[in-house]
């Protein structure tokens, strides 16, 4: 078995230009000026207090909208983090095509970001407006071109489907526009209506199950034909361009979370500990190093592990379960035997069958 990936470093940037109606991430509309130096100072204090002697294989600058921060601010942050990074660390930054300065991509690349994740969502002008996005398709296309020109050779596009009143042919048209930009990686998410969002308060008419299935069949065929391998429920990559940071999550690895509302998880001795930070930027900024910890009871580990690992199309070796959870395989053997008998999992590898992947939520229930 190859060594399992990790640890990862997640850095949260909690502001956006405005809140999208479908989004339940910890993101706050920016009112007034962004005190980027103040926030970067807080992040570096947080990192110094909590990183210990970890050596990070991956970094993910997520949000919110990290691209609201100047390349100089990102550079300052990465300079402080760099001594704790593995030599070939993957460093991803999320960018909103409507919230990134022209000409800035080269400077982000110089700052040490080597993977860019661009929130395209759709390429229909009308749909983007309905999703409350602050950009049109042309800005996404320009962002990709500028990122390439700025030296990025590892680019992801986020695209969503199952959007309000979307027809299967619309979802396919979105993917065609996305693929034409030749991203290295594509995250293709079905829109979910999250509690407490504007869409939950005023639900838009979303496509029915049949239409969703038609989108998935056509979309997956299109992506496969264009050379993108589906390696996780929602993630498609060209060979070698799988997101290493997300693989840390999906193999239930350790990650440190810094920034407002950032979550973390790590093995400590014989226990697994989850960490969290205050969600409100104001509270976070008062004591950035402070962290709440909660041990994960042993009984919850199998469910948490399977919820992640079974998302991987190729699955993981059984030994990963013991390595990540500190539990013997016998802890899940009876449940595994049941799911295998039902045709949902493979007998000798932690891997869902095609049927299991289709009914992943039900499958995971067996381990909860």
**CA 71/CA 111 separation, integer angstroms:** 7
The footprint of ligand SF4 on residues 29-68 (CB under 6 A) is 63-65
The 95-134 site mask, x for binding ligand SAM (CB under 6 A), equals -x----------------------x-x-------------
| DSSP H helices in the chain | 36-50, 71-81, 105-111, 125-130, 137-149, 168-180, 198-201, 209-225, 244-250, 281-286, 301-309, 319-325, 333-341, 354-358, 360-365
The footprint of ligand SAM on residues 45-104 (CB under 6 A) is 62-63, 65, 94, 96
Minimum distance, C-beta of residue 192 to ligand SAM, in the bound complex (Å): 4
Smaller CB distance to ligand SF4: residue 19 or 274? 19
Contacts for 226 with CB less than 8 Å, ≥ 6 apart: 179
Minimum distance, C-beta of residue 87 to ligand SAM, in the bound complex (Å): 27
Selected binder of ligand SAM within 37, 110, 125, 192 (CB under 6 A): 192
Nearest CA-CA partner of 181 in 143, 141, 149, 221: 141
Angstrom distances, CA of residue 155 to CA of 6, 94, 95, 182, 258: 21, 10, 11, 9, 24
With tokens 């800035």, the residue in question is 104
Task: Answer yes or no whether residue 17 interacts with ligand SAM by CB under 6 A.
Answer: no
**CA 305/CA 250 separation, integer angstroms:** 8
**CA 271/CA 149 separation, integer angstroms:** 46
Task: Answer yes or no whether residue 261 interacts with ligand SAM by CB under 6 A.
Answer: no
Selected binder of ligand SF4 within 5, 66, 112, 119 (CB under 6 A): 119
Core vs surface per residue 222-248: b (16+ CB within 10 A) or e:
bbeebebebbbbbbbbbeebbbbbbbb
Q: Which does 19 bind (CB under 5 to 8 A by kind): ligand SAM, ligand SF4, none?
A: ligand SF4
Selected binder of ligand SAM within 5, 7, 10, 22 (CB under 6 A): 22
Selected binder of ligand SF4 within 50, 96, 124, 339 (CB under 6 A): 96
- Contact segment (CB under 6 A) with ligand SF4 among 16-24, 224-232, 233-241, 261-269 equals 16-24
Degrees to nearest 5, angle at CA 92 with 90 and 98: 160
Residues in contact with ligand SF4 by the rule CB under 6 A = 16, 19-20, 23, 25, 27, 63-65, 96, 119
Residues in contact with ligand SAM by the rule CB under 6 A = 22-23, 25, 62-63, 65, 94, 96, 119, 121, 158, 160, 189, 191-192, 194
């Amino acid at each position: 078995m190859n060594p399992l990936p990790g640890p990862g470093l997640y850095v949260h940037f909690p502001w956006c230009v405005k809140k999208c109606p479908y989004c339940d991430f910890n993101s706050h509309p920016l009112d007034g000026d962004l005190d980027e130096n103040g926030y970067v100072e807080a992040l570096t204090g947080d990192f110094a207090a909590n990183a210990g002697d970890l050596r990070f294989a991956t970094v993910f600058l997520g949000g919110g909208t990290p691209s609201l921060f100047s390349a100089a601010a990102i550079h300052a942050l990465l300079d402080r983090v760099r001594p704790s990074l593995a030599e070939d660390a993957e460093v991803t930054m999320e960018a909103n095509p409507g919230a990134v300065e022209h000409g800035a991509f080269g400077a982000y690349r110089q700052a040490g970001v080597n993977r860019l994740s661009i929130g395209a969502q759709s390429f229909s002008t009308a749909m983007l407006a309905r999703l409350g996005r602050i950009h049109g398709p042309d800005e996404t296309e320009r962002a990709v071109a500028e990122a390439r020109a700025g030296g990025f050779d590892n680019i992801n596009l986020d695209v969503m489907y199952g959007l309000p009143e979307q027809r299967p042919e619309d979802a396919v048209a979105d993917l065609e526009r996305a693929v034409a930009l030749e991203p290295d990686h594509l995250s293709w998410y079905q829109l979910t209506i999250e509690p407490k969002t504007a869409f939950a308060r005023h639900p838009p008419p979303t496509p029915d199950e049949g239409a969703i299935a038609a989108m998935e069949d056509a979309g997956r065929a299109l992506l496969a034909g264009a050379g993108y391998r589906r390696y996780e429920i929602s993630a498609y990559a060209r060979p070698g361009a799988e997101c290493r940071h997300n693989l840390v999550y999906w193999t239930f690895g350790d990650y440190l979370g810094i920034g407002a509302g950032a979550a973390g998880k790590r093995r400590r001795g014989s226990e697994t500990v989850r960490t969290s930070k205050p969600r409100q930027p104001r509270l976070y900024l008062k004591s950035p190093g402070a962290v709440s910890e909660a041990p994960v009871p042993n009984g919850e580990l199998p469910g948490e592990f399977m919820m992640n690992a079974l998302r991987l199309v190729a699955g993981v070796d059984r030994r990963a379960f013991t390595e990540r959870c500190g539990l013997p395989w016998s802890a899940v053997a009876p449940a595994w035997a049941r799911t295998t008998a039902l045709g949902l999992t493979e007998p000798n590898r932690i891997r869902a069958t095609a049927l299991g992947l289709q009914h992943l939520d039900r499958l995971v229930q067996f381990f909860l």
